[in-house]
Chains A and B, each alone.
Chain A
Amino acid sequence: MTYAPMLMVFAFAALVAGALLFLPKLAAPRRLTPVKAEPFECGKDPMEISEGRFAIKFSTVAIFFILIDIELLFVWPWAMLYRRLGWFGFAEMLVFLGILMLGFFYIWRKGGLEWE
């Protein structure tokens, strides 16, 4: 019986989702135009090929940024407590940065930082 509320949540979610799916079918007017019939209508011409794409290098740069971003997530609290952590904290951070630098070295030598 204690789980009746949970079941009610499921039932309510199913009801709302189902209503959202089926009410438009009943109520909304359906005027099909050629534009609407195109796949992936997001304001862009789905048939366009070269101009619409962007270079993969943007996404690699984004991934590198996330790596450095997460590094900062660790370094920031460490820097706030730097003195209180003592030599242990210093050595731990050196290990962490060392591993990170290995990755950085790999990216660099693989040419991940070259724009052309």
Chain B
Amino acid sequence: MSPVVPPPAVALGVLLPVLVVLAAAAVVLVLDVLPPRDSKAHLGGVALAGIIGALLAIVMRWGTDARAFRDMVLLDTYALYFDLVICYAAALIVMFSMDYLGRTGSESGEYYSLLLFSTAGMMLMASAGDLIVVFLALELMSLSLYVLAGFFKQRLTSGEASMKYFLLGAFASSFLLYGIALIYGATGSTNLDRIAAAAATRNAEPMVLIGLAMMLVGFGFKISSVPFHMWAPDVYEGAPTSVTAFIATGSKAAAFAAMIRVLVVALRGAQPDWSALLWALAALTMTVGNVVALAQSNLKRLLAYSSIAHVGYMLMGLVAGGGPGPGAVLFYLLAYTFTTVGAFGAIALCARAGEEAVEVSDYAGLARRHPVLAATLALFFLSLIGIPPLAGFVAKFYLFGAAVRAGYIWLTVIAVLNSAVAAYYYLRVIVYMYMREPDGEPVAVAPSLAGGLALTLAVAGIVILGLMPAPFADLAQVAVAPLLR
């Protein structure tokens, strides 16, 4: 008899948080086809339990620095930090979705399992130690989001959003893949550490630079930086609001996670090159995002352009480089996630004349009728402007500080000017809520226990991050440490 093949080392512990989410997704799928078949409300609870289980696994694993599957999957503090951000976003979004889906008549098990699948893809992106894993995880995340964006089957805009997101996303993915192929061709490896080692032994190769530029196109699409942002407003507007929140936070956090790791670890030799590229991207992204947002009357489109602008700020931290730069980006992502999920969640609760309330003018007089919700929404917008003592202010402070200390004075000047411009369109919404009277039917707020709880969590998040940011900023600095070795 031929000899037994020795079993390979299987370190599933490294994948534990991802596996918990995937298991929850499978359980949701199976429960979906078991009785009770007419009510799907309990599936949201199962999904939430899965995400909380993953959060527990993350906390349990905190501080490890493990790698498995031939260094393809890493579980270091960096990955765990992003897992934390992504799982928080996913948990809040599941809570917002519970009543939102019931109200819009599209409650189904697939929604939750797709949400969990894309969460798993995002977490895997943060853990990727190999360009192939980056690509696979990106596709797992994106394919689920393409379907979710079109989840309102009766609504034409939802189908349009899904189609646009799919076609443009596939196009961007192919750019990323071509970039990976060129880098593999130049360095002989897809492993991030080995790329760094191979690139260090030879002079700057044009092929690496072309590969880098193509990968930046792929990542730039996912984080919706200008000039790869065209899809964002249409998709954000058409997709179900809960899905929009996830696209705006989770998928951006995941794309940033992979992008920062690839740039800082694998392509650190090309730092002057990508720094210069990102300088231009950052300046362009924040300016275009903010200026176009000024002209928006649809709140979801407004938030889409605002999220583009915030990506511009975050790219600044990457330009600054070193330890403080990426650390500030990580902190900013945490603050941005709480604020943006909260803002979209609050919008998901509002309806006017049987439709979702998405026009800015729909919110006229909200403060009179629903003072708590109006105050909450106002807090989120103030945090997005960067008013102390909210999370947005501290996050911007760290980010701009890192850029100034790295010597990027002009970029910081552009960013500060942009922040001032941004205040106008955020404040306009607050003015509508507090100082205008509605013409016609006023906006109605759907009662939702889970949604209210999620809003409370989000508000608590931005206030705590704003009042005592130091522990979280330290956490972000600890998280980037594994990249800088």
Contacts and interface: CB of A to CB of B under 8 A. Distances in A.
Interface of A: 2-3, 81, 83-86, 88-89, 99, 102-103, 105-106, 109-110
Contacts of A109: 33-34
B33 A88 contact: no
A100 to B, nearest CB: 11
A85 B4 contact: yes
Interface stretch (B24-32, B191-199, B329-337): B24-32
Contact of B5 (A3, A81, A99, A103): A81
A20 to B, nearest CB: 22
B2 interface: yes
Contacts of B30: 102, 105-106
B60 interface: no
A105 B26 CA distance: 11
A55 to B, nearest CB: 18
B206 interface: yes
A43 B410 CA distance: 60
Contact of A106 (B1, B3, B5, B33): B33
B7 interface: yes
B5 A86 contact: yes
Q: How large is the interface on B (under 10, 10 to 19, 20 to 34, 35 or more residues)?
A: 10 to 19
B32 A106 contact: yes
A106 B113 CA distance: 12
A90 B441 CA distance: 65
Interface of B: 1-5, 7, 26, 29-30, 32-34, 206-207
Given A3-B207, A85-B7, A88-B7, 15 more contacts: A84-B2, A84-B4, A85-B5, A86-B5, A89-B7, A99-B26, A102-B26, A102-B29, A103-B29, A105-B30, A105-B33, A106-B32, A109-B33, A109-B34, A110-B33
A84 B6 CA distance: 9
Given A106-B33, A109-B33, A84 B26 contact: no
**Interface core residue of B2, B7, B206 (most chain A CB under 10 Å):** B7
10 contacts: A3-B206, A81-B5, A83-B2, A89-B7, A102-B26, A102-B29, A105-B30, A105-B33, A106-B32, A106-B33
A13 B7 CA distance: 49
Given A99-B26, A102-B26, A86 B4 contact: yes
Contacts of A105: 30, 33
A110 B34 CA distance: 10
A21 B462 CA distance: 57
Highest count of chain A CB atoms <10 Å: which of B2, B5, B207: B5
Contacts of B2: 83-84
Given A3-B206, A99-B26, A102-B26, A84 B33 contact: no
Contacts of B5: 81, 84-86, 89
Nearest to A98: B26
Nearest to B8: A88
Instruction: Pick from A85, A99, A102, A106 the residue with the most CB of B within 10 Å.
Output: A106
Nearest to B37: A109
Contacts of B26: 99, 102
Give me the 9 closest cross-chain CB pairs, A-B, nearest first.
A109-B33, A88-B7, A86-B4, A84-B5, A106-B29, A84-B2, A3-B206, A85-B5, A102-B26
B449 to A, nearest CB: 30
